[in-house]
A and B are shown apart, each in its own frame.
Chain A
């Protein structure tokens, strides 16, 4: 596959600080948890290089980006360097004044706010008392000021029974056009709190079925790139392929997931460049020291990652005798690293055979949109 000359998108942790300590945060206690926030001047200098590389979009994350007192200066640097931006936030620090500023830049693709419940209890259980109300106020400030708000619901043991309420609250009461879902992956703080956070097989089964049903009810306005809804769709597709006896599926049967490092890079709060936020332990270089375009094209670790799609799943003892191998992607390398200590390995958490062996059930395919 051909490689872009430069990355198109860069995800940047502009701070390592956060005002919350969500029990399933993938950032804290991971390699991305890198102290030593850089001054704005460092980021502005880096944005100049992104401009020269024709990068078109940055995602500002953390930590909590709105904790930075110089966030406006940083965003002005994004704008002056011909880029658009998105922000990932817990929403609790967004004021009308900040939302108006974001709108005034005309370059904000979206602000992603985490809302995990329809009522404070299911949200605050993992994010801390009072955070639901403050996140909601932040979300409403964005809406009032015409900033596109993208809500992400992380599904865990304390809100898995509230999915209908969450969908009704976000889509009907708040009036969002859509929202996204995922589930807490076994990274960062989530690993420490796995018992409290991660869905049991029974809960995962229920979440898949409920989300498919709700997605149908709301005409596809519930989305997912990962988590129970994405798994339900992918696993049903794999099961259909197996039942039909199809020999393979395009771009499957090897470690083909995911391709994020073909279009972008990430930068930790300490300025270290990594292939992806989920692979922060792979240190490729440092901003304002290493030439980004050269690193992008020539770094051995990055190019090795881009080749992992040629590693067949049949090579792994973990996949031995699995009927789903021809239809499987091996899933997220970051999650694989967190669980088995290897990037080039299928992720056990995303294994359909394992899920079924542990008593999981696939939802009725009639629920698919």
Chain B
């Protein structure tokens, strides 16, 4: 089970548009990425408290007919977000050093 709990880059703007579709806007690059409603659902749970399995479980609670391989899709989606700098992970930096986020 994947225990890493991804965190959405707080700099990224989620612009919810029509019919629950949205774009992620990176103001530093001006790049925008389209999200379908499932992507929006996942994005909103990238809060450092949910790993991909948690997210898929939440999805199964909210939606019908979630495919068997949804977990793999979710992990690939999150990995692609990470690759583009849109998502990071909180890491322990040692006693007294607080925490940091790496992308």
Contacts and interface: CB of A to CB of B under 8 A. Distances in A.
Interface string A1-38: 01011101000000000000000000000000000000
Contacts of B27: 56, 79, 82-84, 107
A54 B30 contact: no
B32 to A, nearest CB: 8
Given A2-B18, A4-B18, A54 B28 contact: no
A71 to B, nearest CB: 19
The 8 closest A-B pairs by CB, nearest first: A54-B15, A2-B18, A56-B25, A82-B27, A54-B13, A82-B13, A84-B27, A5-B16
B65 interface: no
A168 interface: no
Contacts of B25: 54, 56
Interface in A307-339: none
B11 interface: yes
Interface of B: 11-19, 25, 27-28, 30, 32
Q: How large is the interface on A (under 10, 10 to 19, 20 to 34, 35 or more residues)?
A: 10 to 19
A109 interface: yes
A4 B17 contact: yes
B30 A109 contact: yes
Main secondary structure of the interface of A (DSSP, over half): loop
Nearest to B19: A2
A246 interface: no
Nearest to A85: B27
A106 interface: yes
15 contacts: A2-B18, A6-B15, A54-B15, A56-B15, A56-B25, A56-B27, A56-B32, A79-B27, A82-B11, A82-B12, A82-B13, A84-B27, A84-B30, A107-B27, A109-B30
Nearest to B30: A84
A54 B14 CA distance: 7
Given A56-B25, A56-B27, A84-B30, A8 B15 contact: yes
Nearest to B29: A106
Contacts of B17: 4-5
A2 B20 CA distance: 12
Given A6-B15, A54-B15, A82-B13, 14 more contacts: A2-B18, A2-B19, A5-B16, A8-B15, A54-B13, A54-B14, A54-B16, A56-B15, A56-B32, A82-B27, A83-B27, A84-B27, A107-B27, A107-B28
Nearest to A51: B13
Interface in A96-116: 106-107, 109
Nearest to A1: B18
B18 A106 contact: no
Interface in A80-97: 82-84
Nearest to A54: B15
A82 B17 CA distance: 18
A201 to B, nearest CB: 41
Contacts of A109: 30
Contacts of A6: 15
Contacts of A79: 27
A56 B27 CA distance: 7
Contacts of A107: 27-28
B85 to A, nearest CB: 14
A63 B87 CA distance: 40
Contacts of A82: 11-13, 27
A82 B12 CA distance: 7
Interface in A224-244: none
Residue of B11, B14, B28, B32 with most chain A CB atoms under a 10 A cut-off = B28
